[in-house]
Amino acid sequence: MSKNPNQEIPKWKQDFPLEQKEATHVSRREFAKFLTLLSGALAVGSTAIVVKSLAFPDQPLVGEHPICLESDVPLGESYMFEIEGSKTIPYLLINLGEGEWRAFEQKCTHLSCAVKYRHDLGQIECPCHKGYFNPRTGDVIQGPPPRPLPQLEVVLRDGMVLVKAQQV
Q: Which residues bind ligand FES (CB under 6 A)?
A: 108, 110-111, 113, 126, 128-129, 131, 143-145
Query: How near is the Cβ of 154 to ligand FES at its closest, in Å?
Result: 23
Residue 52 or 130 having the CB closest to ligand FES: 130
Residues 6+ apart with CB under 8 A from 102: 93, 94, 96, 135, 136, 138, 151, 154
Query: How near is the Cβ of 106 to ligand FES at its closest, in Å?
Result: 11
Residue 96 or 141 having the CB closest to ligand FES: 141
Dihedral angle sign, alpha carbons of residues 132, 135, 136, 138 = positive
Query: How near is the Cβ of 90 to ligand FES at its closest, in Å?
Result: 15
Dihedral angle sign, alpha carbons of residues 57, 58, 61, 67 = positive
Query: How near is the Cβ of 131 to ligand FES at its closest, in Å?
Result: 3
Residue 65 or 145 having the CB closest to ligand FES: 145
Residue 113 or 155 having the CB closest to ligand FES: 113
Residues 6+ apart with CB under 8 A from 148: 109, 133, 134, 137, 138, 139, 140
Instruction: Please give the Cα distance from 136 to 123 (Å, whole number).
Output: 9
